[in-house]
Structure 1
Amino acid sequence: MTTRAKLTVYSALATALASLCMLPLLTTRSWLTHAVLVVGVVSAVGVGMRRSPLYRWSVPVAQLLVLLLLMLIGFAGSGMTAGVLPGADALRVLGRVFSSGVDDIGQYAIPAPPTAGLRLILVSAVGLIAVLVDTIAVTYRRAALAGLPLLALFSIGNGLAGEHGSWVWFCLAAAGYLALLFAEGQDRVSRWGRVFRGGARGTVTSSQVSLGGQQVGVLALALALLLPVFLPRWDLGLLDSGSGGSSGGGPGGSVATSLDPLVSLESAITKPSNNELLSYTLDSDLAEQTYLRTGSLDQFDGTNWKLSSTVVTALPATLPAPEGLHDPNVPHIEGDFRVSDQLEKSWLPMPYPAASVKVPERDDWKLDPMTRTVVPANDKPIRGLHYQVSALDLRPTADELRAAPPAPQDVREHYTALPSDLPSVVADQARAVTANARTDYDRATALVNWFTGPQFKYDTSVEGGTGSNAIAVFLRDRRGFCVHFASTMAAMARVLKIPARVAVGFTPGDTKDGRNYSVTGRMYHAWPELYFSGYGWMRFEPTPSRGVPARYTEASSAPTTAPTQQPTVAATSAAAAPAPSSSSDCTAKQRQLGDCGPKGKAVSQAAEESWLLSGQVLGTLGVVLALIALLLIPMFWRTAVRRRRLGGGGRRRPGGDGPTELTDAQVLAAWDELVDSAWDLGIPPDESRTPRSAARRITETAHLDAEAAAAAGRLALATERVLYAPAGQVTTAPLAADVRTARRALQADAGRRGRIRALLLPPSSAQLWWRISDAVRAARTAVATRTGRAVEAVTGPVRRVFTRRKRSGPGA
């Protein structure tokens, strides 16, 4: 491998290892696969550009253009033509995704959900660092300076990770940088060795210097990791990032940075989980129909649903009256909640609307007054938390909601806002479904009945998303999970001028004694909330076979009296639900949800957030790359052999151009290269001919010109001198130059097709197979010999004993 190739590989490796420190930033790690692929492609572009006769500055320019194309392919799908060609709107779509990522940075805590915007920022950042490192270390040969962008990448990633950071990331990043320095150092030492040639006593080999450099590097890395253990704690090191971002604590309010659970539903829960997240008791006869709400999202910008305000205030002893509720004399239900160790980051799960919350260390909690969401300050983990909630027991009837007056103007303006580019199919379908409805309640229940009808299928194998494009695809395919149903119904309700937002949390927990309930990872859910004057925000359930319809909608939709048993974003089968079973081990709740199929029913995995990261695409790409590598083995082997024979890679080899005397091995290597080059270009070797006869045959068959024929003649003469002349005669001619001269003439005579075949499938590469066969045969012979010796060593003494007894006879 050439020095540039080594530097390219180690530059890409150093960037990939340094980017590992950013793994804790998102709830999933599949984005790193995307980033590593981008690093590989950018490095490959650099290799190709550096082989061209263009200026060096054109290499990073080409890499940046390819990086931009990769980002467009991965994150601007709706603006691409045929998936790979940028369309007129490609850059605009990519800009929108990037802007949403910038907004997400200020909204989410670590670890954040893998939204498209955040993934774009992370992958593009790693790609830019890869371009910088490759440019500095390989294109301009300044490997030491390449540590600056690597340090910037590690510092930013580790600083954002906060308490989630680890010394392991530093160790890996430092190892990648040291490997890059070692690769450049070996090249420098090898070039010194060619220039400064000392005697036997003063000779210093590159391997000795390399070993010493490795020892110094490993020692420095070990000291960097171990020395802080014995020093006073200053909280200023790269391995200690502090406690992370703060939520503030000013009396006028602070900024909430807690994880938005809506987006986390699409990615953090990728497979069904029976782990208990929390347990609770609830003194209500409708406990099995009471959802546990963690928060809601009130703004839809066409890309996703999110909070319009992240300002929170101190948590009061009594929460303010719910928005829109006119009757304050509503009965209360009391709940006692315990969070398990399995639920670390979440907004506080509570029945809606909560009237008061009792939590330990109240100062560590904040309230979002707009959505009545209780969030931990400073993103404090909630695992092991024990708290009590008193909630209002709202039980309006269908007729009461049907008679509700219109919402206030300010509520309608805020909660019916829609992006200007909302697909027309959303409004057309909403009006068609509710054409016969007269009130907002009737329109809402008409939407619920339509979504829960047979034309829609619950399917988590589809790609997630709550933006305009995702809604349009969902209405076209009519397949999706709870996030699709909730976001689409909320958007359609807003089209009908019904104030709506998207709520997230958990469906009711399971119980065995009617009082104690358990919530598992199978119960994550999202649903729409619609506003009705006099009662506030009311829950509706549009997701088929998931969740529990509210009592006030049972007259207009199929009644369900039991909570869900399946996660709304966990992986489930994409096929239609199987027919209920009458088996005795299938409960009534399972039969109602259509989960009583064969016990061996397959459960598919949720789709990845990007087509580039899907298992099928990665598997196919791996197979294709393996086949390409297999087909290119002859070309790579033949190129390596030629470089070894004629000299290359920065050091003298057999057949080199040096002005000094050539050894017999160098002369024979040059002759072998001429014979193999002619073989590759259509003139197979003839072992019966002398070198001079073989050179004449090559000259005549390929119609070599005078200069190439003379070069072939000099090669034949030098070879015959080695084979037949008395010892002591030497050759000083530059035979490597003669081989290249003859090879160029052979290529000119072979034509384009012959040259391509000689490059990709050189016939002389059959020698590689011969060598492998000989090696396998020799290995088998050696194994058989050693096995025979071992068997002989074990059985020989026994056999000799029996032989002696047989000779001695029975009468001995």
Structure 2
Amino acid sequence: MTTRAKLTVYSALATALAALCLTPLLTTKGWITHAFLVVAVVAAVGAGLRRTPFYRWTVPAGQLLVLSLLLLLGFASSVAVFGGLVPGPESVRLLGRTLSQGLHDVRDYAIPAPPSPGLRLILVGSVGLIAVVVDTVAVTYRRSALAGLPLLALYSIGNGLAGDDGNWLWFATAAAGYLVLLFAEGQDRVSRWGRIFRGSERDGEGSGTGTLGRSGQQVGVLALALALLLPVFLPRWDSGLVHSGTGTGTGAGTGGAVSSLDPLITLTGAIPKPRNVELFSYKSDSPAADSTYLRTGSLDVFDGSSWKRGSAATVPFTGTFPAPEGLGSIDLAEQLKAEVRIGPQLDDAWLPMPYPAVGVTLRDNAAWQLDPVTSSLLPAREKAIKGLNYTVTALDVRPTATVLRTVPTPPERIRDQYLVVPRDLPPVVRDTALRVSGKAKTGYDKAVALRDWFTGPDFTYDATTRTDSGSDAMKDFLERRRGFCVHFASTMAVMARILGVPARVALGFTPGNTKGNNVYAVTDAMYHAWPELYFEGYGWLRFEPTPTRGVQPDYSDPVSSPATQPTTQPTVEPQASAPVQLPSANPDCDAKLRRTGDCGERRESAGGTGEESWLLSGKVLTGLAAVALVLLLLLTPMVWRARLRRRRLGGGGRRRPGGPGAVPLTDAQVLAAWDELIDSAWDLGIPPDDSRTPRAAARRIAEAAELDEGATAAAGRVALATERVLYARSAEVGEPLAADVRTARNGLRAHAGRRGRIRALLLPASSAQLRWRISEALLTARLAVGGRFARTVGAVTGPVRRLTARRPGRGGRSGRSGGGTGGTGS
């Protein structure tokens, strides 16, 4: 392997090892495979371009072009033309939107973030750009020491964002890759001074790297070991050059927005791959405790890209809540009381509470802010919820289907705020909503029709689909009929608005698993989203469109008719009071889990990566293979011609035909130099003439190209040496001819002009010899195969023919007998 090839491999290796520090940033690690593929392709493109006679600045330009093509095929192939194989203008626009969404995700997601397309695009693209910079600095311009700067930037950013998830191993791997790159370039620099002294056989160093080389390696390894071990024995210094005290959100009483994690972002990041760890528990003796959702907040504005809070304004929490929006009378509902204990795994979240909450007892009200529109409590300080114990009182609203069919029209204020949909909403959403609702007249019947359609057999719960909730994801969800709760909730809410039913998206948790003694445990596998629909007089009511998830409320059943007024005795659902113990494949799955659908399917789907395939799909790989094949066919003449010239004139420090040297050249070397001169003239527009002698051919080339005196003399010396080889009794050519060929070729290039030089570089005319050689080889192979086939057929059919020849016909036998008899008689 040449030094340049080693540097190419080691620079790619250093970039790949440094990129490992980015793996803690996302919840899944599959994207690093795609980044490694990009690094390998960038290195291969750089190696190929450096073997061409292009300027050095064209190497990184070509690498950037290929990197852009890879990102377009990887993240925007769905809108590419020719079956997704060739990116078009729409691919560029889609890539821009994906990048914009990724930048938005960077601001909103916590570490580790879910593998959204935008975040994966940023990570893979960043690694690709670093690979181009490192390859350019270390290989193209031979400045490996400076390549440590982009590698350090990559490591610093990745490790800084990872925070506590960072690992000393990432530093060790990144530093090791950089040291290997430095060692490779150091050996190359020393070798340029001549043959490297590697010690005497007496020292046993005949195959080693020498004292100097070993010393450099020892210093590098020692420095790496000290960098890893010394911090263990040093005291921790938390202050730093810039003070980084514990950051806090907006304090109580400011009335502004607080800096906390969006619950939708937390939910979409936790659903694809839950860890099944307990987040909190609650205790309640209410009959509805095992079917109560614990809501953290709601989102009431859909702008086409995601669901958001309509207003970021909050007020200090004083311990009380405003009257539930739209609820005519508290007497219409029973009270539900729960004691909640937050575990150590939940340290940054909005407060989980049943809806609508009417009171909560906290140890410090100043640590929380109230959103009066959605009755949600947001933390005003970091980790305000960690280890919190509180008691919450909520209302259990249970209207009947009959009552909900007769509720009055919502007020104008509600309609203006909760019926808004984007103007650029895909038509399939509106058309599907109208088709599914059919002849339903009331808002309740429309809601039930949507719910029944989503929970029917046409849809499949799949937590591994794309995690965003924008218009494009909604269109994809309706076409594929696969998704998880975010897709079902957001799509049903938008469809309900289209049908005239005010709707918003609520976020929180499904009912917990019973632990006995009226205690229920809630895990991260119970993150959930559902639509809330508004009915005048009863406020916001929950509907459940996600199949196999959650619990359907009684009022969502059109044939159910529970009492409209609460009785003195709590109404206990038959299923909750006397659950039927159905057989289950999982003995750990209790009746409540089977009822909510959390037994097996969620755990099976949770094992998915949550990532879309990228560059590993058949379509994208086919596109890459087609592009690579086209590039290979276009570059084959140029590469073949460059390699042939290198072999004829010499290179790489070894003597080759026509190369320099003190010893006399062989006949093959002289003829190789002459062939190169003729082919160079052919490439630049002067075809060969085999009828002329070498001197006459050289004179013709000099006259046709109007060569100057130096180039003409150089071509004449090559021709004279060739005539000696062809005609003299003994020809000893001591002077090298490679320099003369290059001088004559430079003169030819100067006469050809820019267009002629480009044509000679990309499509050299002498490459026709390659086609001739391929045709000759194919003809030879065909003749060889045909001859072998004929011999095989002859070997198989020969015995049959001989056997047939030895069995003459009846007439023939009598004729031979008659002839014999006649001969004897005469």
- Report the TM-score, using the length of structure 1 for normalisation: 0.70
Correspondence list, 1:757-772, <5 A: none
Q: 2:86 is matched by which residue type in structure 1?
A: L
Task: For residue 509 of structure 1, report the CA deviation from its aligned partner.
Answer: 2.0
Task: For residue 610 of structure 1, report the CA deviation from its aligned partner.
Answer: 2.2
Taking the aligned partners of 2:767 and 2:63, their CA distance within structure 1 comes to 37
Task: For residue 198 of structure 1, report the CA deviation from its aligned partner.
Answer: 13
Distance 1:584 1:267, change over 3 A: closer
Taking the aligned partners of 1:369 and 1:254, their CA distance within structure 2 comes to 13
Aligned partner of 1:92 in structure 2 is 93
Q: 2:117 is matched by which residue type in structure 1?
A: A
1:517 paired with 2:529, answer no
Task: For residue 333 of structure 1, report the CA deviation from its aligned partner.
Answer: 1.8
Aligned partner of 1:414 in structure 2 is 417
Distance 1:591 1:268, change over 3 A: closer
Q: 1:497 is matched by which residue type in structure 2?
A: G
Taking the aligned partners of 1:312 and 1:116, their CA distance within structure 2 comes to 32
Aligned partner of 2:542 in structure 1 is 539
Task: For residue 489 of structure 1, report the CA deviation from its aligned partner.
Answer: 0.6
1:68 paired with 2:80, answer no
Taking the aligned partners of 1:287 and 1:332, their CA distance within structure 2 comes to 11
Task: For residue 475 of structure 1, report the CA deviation from its aligned partner.
Answer: 2.3
Distance 1:378 1:56, change over 3 A: farther
- Ranges in structure 2 where 5+ consecutive residues have no aligned partner: 563-572, 577-581, 627-638, 673-693, 699-714, 726-731, 743-764, 782-826
Aligned partner of 2:15 in structure 1 is 15
Aligned partner of 2:431 in structure 1 is 428
Deviations for 1:451-480, whole angstroms, at most 9, x for unmatched residues? Answer: 223333334465554222332233233333
Taking the aligned partners of 1:114 and 1:311, their CA distance within structure 2 comes to 30
Q: 1:515 is matched by which residue type in structure 2?
A: N
Taking the aligned partners of 1:646 and 1:129, their CA distance within structure 2 comes to 37
Task: For residue 191 of structure 1, report the CA deviation from its aligned partner.
Answer: 1.3
Taking the aligned partners of 1:227 and 1:593, their CA distance within structure 2 comes to 53
Aligned partner of 1:392 in structure 2 is 395
Aligned partner of 1:743 in structure 2 is none
Correspondence list, 1:374-389, <5 A: 374-376=377-379, 380=383, 385-389=388-392
Q: Is the Cα–Cα contact under 8 Å of residues 445 and 557 in structure 1 kept in the other structure?
A: no
Correspondence list, 1:42-81, <5 A: 42-81=42-81
Taking the aligned partners of 1:604 and 1:361, their CA distance within structure 2 comes to 36
Count of matched residue pairs: 693
Aligned partner of 1:774 in structure 2 is none
1:495 paired with 2:495, answer no
Deviations for 1:721-761, whole angstroms, at most 9, x for unmatched residues? Answer: xxxxxxxxx998979999x9xxxxxx97994357569999x
Q: Is the Cα–Cα contact under 8 Å of residues 11 and 138 in structure 2 kept in the other structure?
A: yes
Aligned partner of 1:770 in structure 2 is none
Q: 2:254 is matched by which residue type in structure 1?
A: G
Q: Is the Cα–Cα contact under 8 Å of residues 249 and 259 in structure 2 kept in the other structure?
A: yes
Aligned partner of 2:301 in structure 1 is 299
Instruction: Give secondary structure in 2 for the equivalent of 1:393.
Output: strand
Aligned partner of 1:610 in structure 2 is 612
Aligned partner of 1:355 in structure 2 is 358
Taking the aligned partners of 1:425 and 1:63, their CA distance within structure 2 comes to 40
Deviations for 1:484-522, whole angstroms, at most 9, x for unmatched residues? Answer: 221211111121232222223322122264722233454
Aligned partner of 1:799 in structure 2 is none
Deviations for 1:82-110, whole angstroms, at most 9, x for unmatched residues? Answer: 42322332222222222222222332322
Distance 1:266 1:660, change over 3 A: farther
Aligned partner of 1:216 in structure 2 is 219
Q: 2:304 is matched by which residue type in structure 1?
A: G
Taking the aligned partners of 2:418 and 2:346, their CA distance within structure 1 comes to 31
Aligned partner of 2:106 in structure 1 is 105
Q: 2:661 is matched by which residue type in structure 1?
A: P
Task: For residue 547 of structure 1, report the CA deviation from its aligned partner.
Answer: 1.6
Taking the aligned partners of 1:445 and 1:73, their CA distance within structure 2 comes to 42
Taking the aligned partners of 1:207 and 1:268, their CA distance within structure 2 comes to 55
Task: For residue 539 of structure 1, report the CA deviation from its aligned partner.
Answer: 0.9
Taking the aligned partners of 1:244 and 1:734, their CA distance within structure 2 comes to 74
Aligned partner of 1:282 in structure 2 is 284
Q: 2:352 is matched by which residue type in structure 1?
A: P
Deviations for 1:144-175, whole angstroms, at most 9, x for unmatched residues? Answer: 22222223323333333333333333333333
Correspondence list, 1:529-678, <5 A: 529-555=532-558, 606=608, 608-612=610-614, 659=661
Instruction: Give secondary structure in 1 for the equivalent of 2:94.
Output: helix
Distance 1:615 1:272, change over 3 A: farther
Distance 1:45 1:93, change over 3 A: same
Task: For residue 553 of structure 1, report the CA deviation from its aligned partner.
Answer: 0.9
Q: Which moved more, 1:323-332 or 1:438-447?
A: 323-332
Aligned partner of 1:484 in structure 2 is 487
Taking the aligned partners of 1:408 and 1:435, their CA distance within structure 2 comes to 25
Q: 2:81 is matched by which residue type in structure 1?
A: T
Q: 2:76 is matched by which residue type in structure 1?
A: A
Distance 1:459 1:223, change over 3 A: closer
Distance 1:342 1:437, change over 3 A: same
Task: For residue 446 of structure 1, report the CA deviation from its aligned partner.
Answer: 1.8
Aligned partner of 1:125 in structure 2 is 126
Aligned partner of 2:329 in structure 1 is 327
- Ranges in structure 1 where 5+ consecutive residues have no aligned partner: 564-579, 625-635, 674-703, 716-729, 741-746, 764-812
Taking the aligned partners of 1:61 and 1:557, their CA distance within structure 2 comes to 69
Taking the aligned partners of 1:210 and 1:307, their CA distance within structure 2 comes to 63
Instruction: Give secondary structure in 1 for the equivalent of 2:193.
Output: helix
Instruction: Give secondary structure in 1 for the equivalent of 2:36.
Output: helix
Q: 1:148 is matched by which residue type in structure 2?
A: L
Taking the aligned partners of 1:156 and 1:80, their CA distance within structure 2 comes to 33
Distance 1:211 1:448, change over 3 A: same
- Report the TM-score, using the length of structure 2 for normalisation: 0.69
Task: For residue 286 of structure 1, report the CA deviation from its aligned partner.
Answer: 1.1
Deviations for 1:392-441, whole angstroms, at most 9, x for unmatched residues? Answer: 33233334433444444444333333222211121112122224222322
Task: For residue 200 of structure 1, report the CA deviation from its aligned partner.
Answer: 12
Q: Is the Cα–Cα contact under 8 Å of residues 16 and 36 in structure 2 kept in the other structure?
A: yes
Q: Is the Cα–Cα contact under 8 Å of residues 247 and 378 in structure 1 kept in the other structure?
A: yes
Taking the aligned partners of 2:213 and 2:224, their CA distance within structure 1 comes to 16
Q: Is the Cα–Cα contact under 8 Å of residues 368 and 379 in structure 2 kept in the other structure?
A: yes
Q: Is the Cα–Cα contact under 8 Å of residues 108 and 257 in structure 1 kept in the other structure?
A: no
Q: Is the Cα–Cα contact under 8 Å of residues 280 and 343 in structure 2 kept in the other structure?
A: yes
Correspondence list, 1:205-284, <5 A: 207-229=210-232, 231=234, 233-235=236-238, 246-249=248-251, 251-253=253-255, 256=258, 258-263=260-265, 265=267, 268-270=270-272, 275-284=277-286
Distance 1:661 1:709, change over 3 A: closer
Q: 1:299 is matched by which residue type in structure 2?
A: V
Q: Is the Cα–Cα contact under 8 Å of residues 107 and 258 in structure 1 kept in the other structure?
A: no
Taking the aligned partners of 1:45 and 1:212, their CA distance within structure 2 comes to 35
Deviations for 1:267-291, whole angstroms, at most 9, x for unmatched residues? Answer: 5444676544433212311112111
**Percent of pairs identical after alignment?**
56
Q: Which moved more, 1:378-387 or 1:47-56?
A: 378-387
Taking the aligned partners of 1:595 and 1:250, their CA distance within structure 2 comes to 39
Aligned partner of 1:633 in structure 2 is none
